[in-house]
Amino acid sequence: MATSTRNGRRQTQRSKATSRVAQRSLDVRAMRGRVLGLRQRMSGRPLVYLDSAATSQRARDAVEAMDQLFARRNANIHQEGFALAREAKSMADEGRATLATFIGARRPEEVVHVDGSTEGINLVMTTWGLDTVRRSHNIVLTTQEHLSNLLPWQILSKRTGCELRFIEADDTGKLRLEQLSSVITRRTKLVALPHVSNVLGHINPVDAVVERAREVGARVLVDGAQSTPHIPIDVRALGCDFFVFSGHKMLGPFGSSVMWARHELLEEMTPYNAGGGSVEKATLKRAEYKDPPQKFEGGTDNPAGTVGLAAAVKLLRDTGERRIMDYERRLTEHGLERLMNVPKLRLIGSFLPEGRLPIFSFVIDGYTGSELATKLGNRGIAVSGGSLNAGPCLAQFGVEEATRASCYVYNTPEELDVLAEALTELSAEGGRR
C-alpha cells in the first residue's frame, strides 16, 4: 500500500510538472474559460470530458457569434432585397473566407458548406465519383477508415463495378507504404484516406500517398475530420484534390463542416443537392446552375453554422496552432505513460508519442468497449465505446469493440490521471468477476 501511495504521489507530481511546462506556452485555464460545457457534473462527479474525437465542446465565441446572427441578422441570405438579409449574407461570406484562409485554400469559392465530413465525402462520391469512375477502374482506401470514408465508396463500387483496394497497416497501425506501388496503379482513379485515424491517432503520411497517386494520374481525397482540430492544415501543401473536415470536432457547432476541392474540379462536377439558391435561371425543362460553390448548396443555407465555425477557427488561430500542437504532444506523452501502466490494459496502435495525437483506444480484460465506456461514464468520465464506427480497423487488432479517450486543447494532464486511476480500479474489479 505504501508503494502504491508513493507511486501515486510521483504521478501527481509529474502531472503538475507537465502542466507547468505546458502552460508556459498555452494557458489552458484561459482556454477552458472560453469553452462552454466543461464546468459541470456528470453522474454526480466533476465532468472529465475525453470524447472530443466524437464531438468537442463548444467555444463561447462560436455560440456568441451565432446568437448575434440569430438576434440581429436573422434572415434568409438568398433574399438580398432588404438590408437584414444582405447583412446576414455578408457575415456568412466573411465566415467562408475565414475558413478558406484557415486551410490554405486559394479562394473562398473552393469551400463548400456541408453538414459534416460524411456529407462531404458522399458529395464527392455522388458527383465526381459517378461522373468519373467506371468498371475498369479501382479506388484505393486504407484498412483504417471510419465508415464515413468506406461506405460511400462501397456504394460507388456497387453502382459502377469498380474495384476497391486497400493499403494495409502493420502491427502498430502504421500504413505499409511499401504497398503503394502495387496497390495504386494506372487503373486507380481515386485514393481516399484518413489524415488521422479516429482509432489509432496516427498522422498518416499523406505526402507519400499523394506522390504515388500523381505518378499514375489518380486524385486524392483526405478525410481531415480528426486532423484539422489539432494540426495546421494547408490543402495546397498537402497536394490533395479533396479535403473534408467537421466543425463540431473543433469547437464549432453541429452542421458546420467543409468539403474543399480544387476549383477546376468543382467547375466540372455535377451539381449536388439541387434546389433554390443553386441556379441562375430555371425553366420547366432546364436550369442554368451557379458557379461553385453555390451549385452544391441548394436550399436554405445555414449561415449560423458558418459564422459559428469561423469564430471557433479564429479562436484556434489566435491561440496559435503550433502552440496547440506542442501542448497536445505533451498530453499524448503523458496519456501514453499513464495508460501503459494500467494493469490488463492493451493499447491499440503505437506505444510511441511521435507522429500521433492524444487519441487513445484500448481494451481491458473483462469488459467490452461499450461496457467500459459506461463504467467510466458512471464515474463522470466521458469517452467513446463500441466499434467506434471503424470495425474493420479494430478487426486488424483482433477486437470487435474498444474504448477511446480523446483529448483536445482544453484537457489537462490531471484529467488523464483521473482516467488512469479509474481504469486501474476497474481493471481490478474486472479481474474479480
Residue 264: burial class (beta carbons within 10 Å; 0-12, 13-18, 19+): exposed
Q: Is the pLDDT of residue 14 over 90?
A: no
Cα(423)–Cα(372) distance, rounded to whole angstroms? 9
Q: Is the pLDDT of residue 374 over 80?
A: yes
Q: Is the pLDDT of residue 182 over 60?
A: yes
pLDDT at 10 (0 to 100): 47
Summarize pLDDT for 395-412 with one digit per residue, the tens. 999 999 999 999 999 999
Cα(414)–Cα(40) distance, rounded to whole angstroms? 17
Summarize pLDDT for 193-250 with one digit per residue, the tens. 999 999 999 999 999 999 999 999 999 999 999 999 999 999 999 999 999 999 999 9
In which residue ranges of the chain is CATH 3.40.640.10 found?
62-318
Average pLDDT over residues 130-148: 98
Cell numbers that stand for 188 in this block: 486507380
In which residue ranges of the chain is CATH 3.90.1150.10 found?
2-55+320-431
Q: Is the pLDDT of residue 86 over 60?
A: yes
pLDDT at 80 (0 to 100): 82
Contact between 310 and 95 (Cβ < 8 Å): yes
CA atoms within 13 A on the CB side of 307: 21
Summarize pLDDT for 22-79 with one digit per residue, the tens. 445 899 999 999 999 999 999 999 999 999 999 999 999 999 999 999 999 999 998 8
Topology (CATH level 3) of domain 2-55+320-431: Aspartate Aminotransferase, domain 1 (3.90.1150)
Give this prediction's pTM: 0.93
Q: How confident is the model at residue 5 (pLDDT cuts 50, 70, 90)?
A: very low
Cα(363)–Cα(402) distance, rounded to whole angstroms? 5
Q: Is the pLDDT of residue 21 over 50?
A: no
Q: Is the pLDDT of residue 431 over 80?
A: no
Average pLDDT over residues 292-308: 95
Summarize pLDDT for 246-291 with one digit per residue, the tens. 999 999 999 999 999 999 999 999 999 999 989 999 999 999 999 9
pLDDT at 192 (0 to 100): 98
Cα(264)–Cα(134) distance, rounded to whole angstroms? 21
In sequence order, the β-bridge partners of residue 403 are: 362, 385
Contact between 172 and 349 (Cβ < 8 Å): yes
Cell numbers that stand for 95 in this block: 465566415
Please give the mean pLDDT across all residues of the chain. Answer: 93
pLDDT at 24 (0 to 100): 55
CATH architecture entry for 62-318: 3-Layer(aba) Sandwich (3.40)
Q: Is the pLDDT of residue 370 over 80?
A: yes
Cα(147)–Cα(383) distance, rounded to whole angstroms? 19
Average pLDDT over residues 143-150: 98
